[in-house]
Amino acid sequence: NAGVTQTPKFQVLKTGQSMTLQCAQDMNHEYMSWYRQDPGMGLRLIHYSVGAGITDQGEVPNGYNVSRSTTEDFPLRLLSAAPSQTSVYFCASSLQLTVRTGELFFGEGSRLTVL
Amino acid sequence: AQSVTQPDIHITVSEGASLELRCNYSYGATPYLFWYVQSPGQGLQLLLKYFSGDTLVQGIKGFEAEFKRSQSSFNLRKPSVHWSDAAEYFCVVGGYNNNDMRFGAGTRLTVKP
């Protein structure tokens, strides 16, 4: 029962470096999303996707890119990391966009530190 | 604009004691409401949800929550806390779609032996 798998779990970057956070789900979910979690602020939506080839911006999209070439994978790219992107990142998926079709399943998170 | 407030950042209760975590929301229509739990080093797990109907909702692990429209609240309760309930709890308010969900800042629960 893999569910939602995120890699890496921990990463340290220097300012200006690029990296990709990987997210994969094996539940054939159409909806996938990325959140960041910062102290005292709960989770905020970065980007989301409602199916292969379709992505859209969430609440805090600046500095992040996403793509969805397959149903299973939804990578998050940081093109030029900044200290403000130090956070814990969560990938989540659900059967469809509408909440009534099923719950959100979360990965275990990726802790990113930008020096 | 929709928002959700969890007034208590940190709560400590003794094992076996009752628990109530507060949640207040602001939303233009009848919201969809959720409680999620995040155990240390883990992702978030859905405890319970409210869409419509009976305002007292039962969830997993013995938790329940009550929707009070007049008070714009959705408080989470458990009659007897276990040490394994130590975690962070998030109240979430949203609309029809998953991308509409707004998370509260969370309440961290510590359980004393």
Residue A26 pLDDT > 90:
yes
Instruction: Provide, as residue numbers in chain A, all residues whose Cβ is less than 8 Å from the Cβ of B43.
Output: 4, 90, 92, 105-109
Task: Name the band, by pLDDT with cuts 50, 70 and 90, for residue A75.
Answer: very high
| Whether B87 contacts B78, CB under 8 Å | no
Residue A6, beta-bridge partner list: A23
Tell me the per-residue pLDDT of A33-62, one tens digit each, with 9 for 90 and over.
999 999 888 899 999 999 999 999 999 999
Q: CB distance from B40 to chain A under 8 Å?
A: no
> Is B105's CB within 8 Å of A42's CB?
yes
Cα distance between residue A16 and residue A106, in whole Å: 28
- Buried b / exposed e over B9-23, threshold 16 CB at 10 Å, is eeeebeeeeebebbb
Shortest CA distance from B88: residue in chain A: A42
CA–CA–CA angle B47, B51, B53 (5° rounding): 110
pLDDT of residue A33: 98
| Nearest chain B Cα distance for residue A65, angstroms | 17
**Quick one: which of A95, A84, A80 has its CA closest to A31?**
A95
pLDDT of residue B41: 83
In percent, how much of chain B has pLDDT > 90?
A: 84
Instruction: Please report where in the chains the tokens 């005292």 appear, as a residue.
Output: A40
List C-alpha distances in Å: A76 to A32, A49, B102.
Answer: 11, 12, 20
